[in-house]
Amino acid sequence: MTTQTIIGTAQEVRQQIRSNKWRGVTSGVAPGYVQANLAILPKDLAFDFLLFCQRNPKPCPILEVIEPGNIEPILTAPGADIRTDASGYRVYENGQLTAEVDTIEEYWRDDLVSFLLGCSFSFETAMVEAGIPLRHQELGNNVGMFITNIQTTPAGVFSGPMVVSMRPVKREQVVRAVQVTSRFPATHGAPVHIGSPEDIGIKDISQPDFGDPVEIKDDEEPVFWACGVTPQAVALNCKPPLMITHTPGRMFITDGKDADYAVL
Amino acid sequence: MTTQTIIGTAQEVRQQIRSNKWRGVTSGVAPGYVQANLAILPKDLAFDFLLFCQRNPKPCPILEVIEPGNIEPILTAPGADIRTDASGYRVYENGQLTAEVDTIEEYWRDDLVSFLLGCSFSFETAMVEAGIPLRHQELGNNVGMFITNIQTTPAGVFSGPMVVSMRPVKREQVVRAVQVTSRFPATHGAPVHIGSPEDIGIKDISQPDFGDPVEIKDDEEPVFWACGVTPQAVALNCKPPLMITHTPGRMFITDGKDADYAVL
């Protein structure tokens, strides 16, 4: 098995992953295909979690929900197996990380419901194509993520603050950044905040809660987008007996194309 | 109680309804406020129905889902009571209409989940404001609705064909009609089909399955939108032990303003 970046269609990459020939960070892999955050929960929590996602579409944009016990994402990746085709998995029991594994067949149960949620890779591609550079990408770093004082809309047992990602944008490009990302509501969409980090409860912009710090230059504004870490954080808050996610950065790659999810 | 049309804010109209001072067809009532289709189902069907709506956002645009047993639409109409504040209710048992009532307090149960779904009144207002006349409205008729051969995406126990509404639009205004309604995804959004009724399985455009026939003139195209009758029809298909809906045309009026639900 190699961890070098590979290029191919979504189907080809998933086949490489399933056959254990490749497994790694999926940024830049299968370019143009929509990648998904994964959250797998027992059915007795599934209605509340689906409702939470429905009420909080910016941090939790639903690409697909697979019915209890089913393993095939029939809408976004027909033929795939949700237990083997993500690049890496994390298993949480009672809110604690208990395993990091290549496949989750041994954890599978008939009552598990799989949620595929949009990831920011799609709108980042659109920003770069629009000539808006992404500093964290250029430096080969992870984006900086922050816990805010913006409360999500609770649903059933799920509630908690929104996590955002921050990207510095030149003042003259801020309007364009709003326009470009607004076209991708299925992958977090328009920013939730522009400027003053303090306004959304971020005390020190140089100290992200997750990911890497990113410098903000004098001619730039910090621009904040709702982040896919939110649903995971919120779900783990209530310590479900079992929850399975992808390993950060190692997403499930769907057959959907970025362009198919763009509005207007 | 009078059935004359009344004008007021959403709150004022709901108060009139709750106190039994007014009850009638809500078209044109509380102008500018978003009106909702109502579907109330037992919790054991709620996950499947929520997933069905999520997979079929055009016929089933979710405005709010109220958690099991709760009666207050805290997001779209805080202070309201879903059991008394719609203008009329229908009770279905095992798929059969068994009662048409003013309030549903006597049917209420702790396991009932209430779905508020967008209704076409919002985008019709936008069309009229954009100078696109609506023949059925001018004639004081109901819109014509048709069962199509467009299959919805099934979810759990729910599946069935999409029901559409048809409005004739002058050829020179068809583009504008697409643009204007695209701004309201929360209330059915863009058309699902333009032109040839046969293409979507409609054999006789002069014989709607629901509502009233509407003439199509030589300089007009029939334009079809996904219709809020779809989720009701699909839900009743599987004969749930109990399902409560609003009476057609007598909607639940939310505090949301049309403009708040517009995109771009």
pLDDT over 70 percentage in chain B: 98
ipTM reported for the complex, 2 dp: 0.80
Domains parsed from chain B with CATH numbers = 10-119+240-261 (3.40.1640.10), 121-231 (3.30.2040.10)
Phi, psi of A4 (to 5 degrees): -60, 150
Q: What confidence tier does B263 reach under pLDDT thresholds 50, 70, 90?
A: confident
Name which of B65, B153, B155 is nearest A54 (Cβ-Cβ). B65
B125 or B7, which is more confident: B125
- Distance in Å, alpha carbon of B62 to nearest chain A alpha carbon: 8
User: What confidence score (pLDDT) does residue A137 get?
Assistant: 87
Q: Residue A44: closest CA among chain B residues belongs to which residue?
A: B47
In terms of DSSP H, where are the helices of chain B? 10-18, 43-55, 121-129, 135-138, 174-182, 229-237
User: What confidence score (pLDDT) does residue A86 get?
Assistant: 97
Structure tokens that stand for A250 in this block: 């190692």
What's the mean pLDDT when you consider all of chain B?
A: 93
Q: Residue A178: closest CA among chain B residues belongs to which residue?
A: B264
Q: What confidence tier does A5 reach under pLDDT thresholds 50, 70, 90?
A: low
Q: What is the mean pLDDT of residues A14-18?
A: 95
pLDDT over 90 percentage in chain B: 78
**How far is A46 from B54, CA to CA, in rounded Å?**
13
**How far is B180 from B158, CA to CA, in rounded Å?**
31
What's the mean pLDDT when you consider all of chain A?
A: 93
**How far is B40 from B249, CA to CA, in rounded Å?**
17
Nearest-5° Cα angle at B133, B130 to B138: 140
Name which of B46, B51, B75 is nearest A153 (Cβ-Cβ). B75
Number of inter-chain CB pairs under 8 A, A vs B: 33
Q: What is the pTM of this model?
A: 0.87
Contact A127, A165 (CB under 8 A): no
Note the pLDDT tens digit of each residue in A68-95.
999 999 999 999 999 999 999 999 999 9
Q: Which helix (H) or strand (E) is A150 found in, with range?
A: strand A144-151
Q: What single letter denotes the amino acid at residue B262? A: A
Residue with tokens 């989750």: A104
User: What confidence score (pLDDT) does residue A237 get?
Assistant: 86
User: What confidence score (pLDDT) does residue A220 get?
Assistant: 97
Structure tokens that stand for A6 in this block: 């590979």
